[in-house]
Structure 1
Amino acid sequence: MNDLIRQAIAAEAEERVDSRTVLAGLHKAEKRKPFGLIVGVATLTAAAAVAAVVVPATIKKTDASPAAPPAASQNVLLIGTDDSEFTDALVLARFDADGSVSAVSLPRDLQVGEEKINRLYGQAPEKLTGAVEQLTGVEVDHYAAVDMGGFGRIAQIVGGVEVCLLAATEDERSGASFPAGRQTVEGDRALAFLRQRMGLPHGDLDRVKRHQAFLTGLAAKINKDNAVALAAEVGRSVRVDEGWDVLAFAQRFQGPVEIVTGTLPVGAPVDGPAGQALQADPGASRQFVADWFGGKATPQDGCVR
């Protein structure tokens, strides 16, 4: 695997290695942890999907490189897990043919049947994808899961991720200690920013907004100079469904990616079989996702809590 990464770097730096040779080698890499192009679609949100776009474009240097097949829209469920295999972040992302991404965050405390949605992935990935399909009315083509703990290092590789907070915040549990305004986070500070939900007015819903802000900031920092290192880092902890050719998927997207994020509408917390949880109306959820993926998504700018 390290040889493949070094070969990719050499192709970028010297432009002497035929990218077809590199890509052929990547296809033969270990399927459970292929080269970091997988990363592209396996971050806490769609952020690392940008890496999957940039890396092929970086490696693909020669005119002799095979033409990418026409892209088609695909729905990818992006899962960020903690050490206990619970889901801390859940994003349903539509990758459109033009390279744009529309992403809908699903709160981790969402009630699904008798359980919260954050517990389903640890039971079986198919149980989670099935629940998401039933709730949103959207077929999940593939899923990718990544350990949330790696995002501090990811932010460090790109030189930090710029975020903006509406107010100063402190939280001993997550280690968060941030002033108001724009600031750059990486390492442990990035993890604290992503993990905090205690002390926020809307708890996990505010944390979802932070995930989305981090996604947008990370996407803006990924480029051909850091894409290979980024892909190598996050590729260590990525898991994808067995039948997904992520390399072929990534090759179809060339150039920058526009990411628009939103959150599935939910009601106020109520007591349920799994404790206090958030409720979502299936009909309203399906309409929201259909509108969001149908071109009615609007960028969310500004600071978060």
Structure 2
Amino acid sequence: MKSYGGRHRTVFLVLLRVVWTAVCAAVLVVSGVAWSTVSTISTGVERSYAIPDDVPRSTSGRNILIMGLTTRLDLHGEPLPDDVLRRMQAGESDRGGYNANTLILLRVPVSGPAVAMSVPRDNLVPLASGGEGKIKEAYGRAKIAEEERLRAAGQHDPRTLERAGREAGRRAQVRTVSAFLNQPVDHLVEISLIGFFHIAEGLGGVDVCLRAATKDPLSGADFPAGPQHLDAGQALSFVRQRHGLPDGDLGRTRRQQAFLAAVAKRLKGADVGVVRAMADMAKQDVVLDAAFDLAEFTTNLPSEVRFETLPIEGGARVGGLDVNRVDPAKVQAKVTELATAPPPPPPDDGVPCVD
């Protein structure tokens, strides 16, 4: 598939290029912003202990797992305001569950360009909790199991259950992806669906380009062909649409990458005030692992990021569900290839056109 690259000036921008995303991760700052701003973001964002201190670590760089959740709830499991849900055009608060519909392994080498590897969400893989399932399901299954365990032990406080359940979900998702890719995970970034909306809203919308007109009532997508500016609600529909696309979910992955490339392009021209406002917004939506030292990370920030989508073998029907057949050996070989010698990104030639 085509990859999208561009020059980045900051950690904030790098993570935005690879999160919903995502987005992915909308948590840091542009270069030139005062150190006090970095410190404020670092101490204000939600932290996770899902990656133990004693797990294996990368030796020639760092692997950051970026997880985009489908939930329409906030970080405490509370419903979003009705007016926000209406503008998101993503249905009611009880939709979506806790699937990790976006999974990106961001490989940041000691030197040279970084590579963001998208893992198709419907890959049929062994799950950390046991058995097989779609890779996106590791989070939600573990969350439910942990909450049931705690209820059986007498715990009924909703926020305690939500926090413990999400931590179990993060642990399971990290272990599942790490085993499937045969790569250690050094850090994690989690962002929910509202994060995509907040990113686009904070920027006043984004510019995208479509090869053909498209309409999908399930996602709310209704776009003409060609270059166009999308508001926050439209942008969320743009990244959520999969019905009516030539490649289905893989087409949606390219949509997400194009959206993040558009965010990066917009941020390049943004002033410090806009970035600070978005950083404050990110605290509502983003979770980082406890060991993610943002200040240290800024000292070795890559200037380039390339997107890749990891291979699948084709579709299959298993237990009444549509899944992706995968060859773990081929996937792991591709990851190793990209992690050890990522190709240079293409020139930054503006907003890419996608299906």
Give the shorter-chain TM-score range.
0.7 to 0.9
Match of 1:87 in 2: 100
Counterpart pick for 1:247 among 294, 303, 308: 294
**Secondary structure at 2:325's aligned position in 1?**
coil
- Amino acid in the other structure paired with 2:335: V
The yes-or-no answer on 1:73 pairing with 2:121 is: no
1:169-218 alpha-carbon deviations (Å, 9 max, x no partner): 00011000111112222310000001101111211110001011111111
Counterpart pick for 1:291 among 327, 333, 337: 337
In 2, the alpha carbon distance for the partners of 1:148 and 1:107 equals 17
Change beyond 3 A, Cα 1:125–1:274: farther
1:98-130 alpha-carbon deviations (Å, 9 max, x no partner): 474310101111111211111112222222112
Match of 1:118 in 2: 136
Change beyond 3 A, Cα 1:260–1:238: same
Counterpart pick for 2:122 among 84, 91, 109: 109
In 2, the alpha carbon distance for the partners of 1:140 and 1:235 equals 22
Q: Is the 8 A contact 2:103 2:118 kept in 1?
A: yes
1:52-72 alpha-carbon deviations (Å, 9 max, x no partner): 2516x41149xxxxxxxxxx7
In 1, the alpha carbon distance for the partners of 2:207 and 2:326 equals 32
Change beyond 3 A, Cα 1:206–1:259: same
Higher-helix-fraction structure? 1
The yes-or-no answer on 1:58 pairing with 2:33 is: yes
In 1, the alpha carbon distance for the partners of 2:24 and 2:119 equals 18
Match of 2:19 in 1: 43
Match of 1:201 in 2: 246
Residue-pair matches, total:
257
Measured after TM superposition, the shift of residue 93 of structure 1 is 0.4
**Secondary structure at 2:243's aligned position in 1?**
coil
What stretches of structure 1 of length at least 5 have no aligned partner?
1-35, 62-71
Q: Is the 8 A contact 1:50 1:219 kept in 2?
A: no
Match of 1:174 in 2: 219
- Amino acid in the other structure paired with 1:142: H
- Amino acid in the other structure paired with 1:44: W
In 2, the alpha carbon distance for the partners of 1:165 and 1:134 equals 36
**Secondary structure at 2:235's aligned position in 1?**
helix
Measured after TM superposition, the shift of residue 79 of structure 1 is 0.5
Q: Which runs of 4+ in 1 moved over 6 A?
A: 36-39
In 2, the alpha carbon distance for the partners of 1:192 and 1:284 equals 33
Change beyond 3 A, Cα 1:40–1:249: farther
In 2, the alpha carbon distance for the partners of 1:104 and 1:297 equals 13
**Secondary structure at 2:307's aligned position in 1?**
strand
1:87-166 equivalence runs, <5 A = 87-98=100-111, 100-113=113-126, 114-122=132-140, 123=142, 124-166=169-211
In 1, the alpha carbon distance for the partners of 2:261 and 2:24 equals 11
Change beyond 3 A, Cα 1:106–1:152: same
In 2, the alpha carbon distance for the partners of 1:50 and 1:237 equals 9
Match of 2:353 in 1: 303
Structure 1 vs Structure 2 CA RMSD: 2.8
Change beyond 3 A, Cα 1:265–1:184: same
Q: Work out the percentage of aligned pairs sharing the same amino acid.
A: 34
1:203-218 equivalence runs, <5 A = 203-218=248-263
**Secondary structure at 1:269's aligned position in 2?**
strand
Q: Is the 8 A contact 1:38 1:247 kept in 2?
A: no
In 1, the alpha carbon distance for the partners of 2:292 and 2:310 equals 29
Higher RCO structure, 1 or 2 (CA under 8 Å, sep 6+): 2
1:242-263 alpha-carbon deviations (Å, 9 max, x no partner): x323433443246x84221010
Q: TM-score, normalised by structure 1?
A: 0.75
Q: Is the 8 A contact 1:92 1:104 kept in 2?
A: yes
